Structure 1
Amino acid sequence: MPSKPVLWNFFRSSASWRVRIALALKEIEYEYKIVNLLTGEQLSEEFTKLNSKQEIPILEIDGLHLTQSLPIIEYLDETRPQEPRLIPKDPVIRCKARAIAEIINSGIQPYQNTNVLKRLVAEIGEEKKNEWLKHYLTKGFRAIESALIQSSGKYCVGDCLTIADLCLVPQVYSAHRFNVSLQDFPTILRVNAELEKIPAFQKSHAHAQIDTPDEFKGK
C-alpha cells in the first residue's frame, strides 16, 4: 500500500494553497505538515535539509520529493488525469492558462513573500513598505484583469478549471489581506466569486486549515 502523500505548507501561503486546491480537485488525501512561516520554521536546519531554498510547499508523493507549486500541480495533473484537467490539452488554451498563472506566480507573489516584506520593513519602514507593496500588486492585478477580459468565461480561461484558477483565488485573498483595492478589476472579482463556490476551493481555503488561527476560522 503506497504511503499517504505529505504536504509541507502553511495556511496562508499562497503557493501552498494552490497545491491544496489541486489535491482537493483530484480527491487526493494527504498528511498536512505545518511549517509556520511567522516563527521562521522554514529557516531551521531541519527544514533546510528538505528544501535548501527554505520555501514551501513541498509534496512527498509517489516516492518523490517535489517543490515549487506550478510543477507540483503539473505533476498531479499528468499522473492523475481524471477531471478536471488543470493543464489544458489545446495549446492555445494551455498557453493562456499558464500565462495567467505566471503573472501571479512570478510577477506578483514574490513581492509579498515574508522574507521580502521583513527586509523592506527593516530598510524603509512599514509605511513605505505598504506603498511599495500596493504599487506592485496593483500593477500585477491590472495585467490579470486585462488577460481575463480576453480569456475568461465562467473561470479564468473559458468555462473549465485550469492552473490559472488555482493561482487566482489565493492571490485575491492576499490583495484583501494587504488592503489592495480590487474595485477597478470587476472581471477578477467575478471569476473569483465563481471559484469560491466550488467545494474543493472552499476546503482548501486559508481559513479552513488545521493551522488556521481561531480568529480567522469561519470567515
Structure 2
Amino acid sequence: MLLHDYWRSGASYRVRLALNLKNLVFDQMPHDLRTDAQTDPGYVAINPQELVPALEADGQVLTQSLAIIEWLEEKHPAPALLPADPNSRAVVRAMASLIACDIHPLHNLRVLTALRHEIGASEAQVSGWIAHWIKDGLAALETMIVRHGGIYAFGDTPGLVDCCLVPQLYSAERFTVPLGAFPRVVAAGAAARALPAFAAAHPYRQPDADAR
C-alpha cells in the first residue's frame, strides 16, 4: 500500500493511525501542501480533488480519509476500529464525522488561505475563526464522550473516533486553542497518544516533517 500524504495533514494523520492500529505495512509519498505539490499533474491524475490523503491499494486509488478507514476496516477487520453492534457503530460514525466533517474542514489550509487572501481577514480574525469552530465542535464531542467514552473516546478500546480525535487535538494545540473546558476530550486523547501506534503516526515522526 502507498499512502499519499503530508506530515501536517489532519486527514492523512487519521489514515496513518488506522493503518498503524491494524499493523499494516505501507509506504508514504509526501506532497507538501504549502508549495501546492498536490496540484502537480501526476498527482491530479491520481486524485482529481487535489487533496491528501490518497491510498493506492489492490490496484485502485482510495480517497477521503473516512472512506479509506472504512475500506481498511472491511478489508482487514481485525483489530476492529468499529464496534460490533449497529447502534454503537452509528454512534462511533457520528462522533468521527463530527470531527472530520464539521470541525476539521473549517480550519484546513485551503480555507485559511481563502480567509487571508480572498476575504482579507487579519491574523487575529483567522485565529478567532479557528478557535470558534474547534471549541464549538469539541463542546459537542465532550458531551458524547461523557455518554459513550471509557478509557478512549468510545469505550475502552482505541478505534475510529480516536483516529479522528488525536489529529484534531494536534491542530487545537498547534493553533493554541484552550482545551480546559473539555476534560474528557483531553483525557481520551491522552490515553490514545500513549499507544505506540499513535506515537508512530505523529506528524513530527513523518519523513517529510519540518525540523523542530
TM-score tier (shorter): over 0.9
Deviations 1:171-209 (A, max 9, x none): 000000111110110001111110011110111111111
Cα distance in 2 between the residues matched to 1:135 and 1:29: 38
Deviations 1:99-131 (A, max 9, x none): 110000110010111111011012222221111
Cα distance in 2 between the residues matched to 1:79 and 1:56: 21
Secondary structure of the structure 2 residue equivalent to 1:77 = helix
1:130 counterpart residue number: 127
Contact 1:182 1:189 in 2 (8 A): yes
Secondary structure of the structure 2 residue equivalent to 1:20 = helix
> Quick one: which amino acid aligns to residue 97 of structure 1?
V
Sequence identity, in percent?
38
Structure 2 counterparts to residues 23-102 of structure 1, below 5 A:
23-83=19-79, 85-102=80-97
> Quick one: which amino acid aligns to residue 131 of structure 1?
G
Cα distance in 1 between the residues matched to 2:200 and 2:12: 13
Please give the root-mean-square deviation of Cα atoms over the aligned residues, in Å: 1.0
Shift of 1:44: 2.3
Contact 1:97 1:156 in 2 (8 A): no
Unaligned runs of 5+ in 1: none
Cα distance in 2 between the residues matched to 1:75 and 1:109: 21
Deviations 1:28-73 (A, max 9, x none): 1111100101111112222221111111100011112100011111
Q: List 4+ stretches of structure 1 deviating above 3 A.
A: none
Unaligned runs of 5+ in 2: none
Cα distance in 1 between the residues matched to 2:84 and 2:60: 25
TM-score (norm 1): 0.93
Aligned length: 210
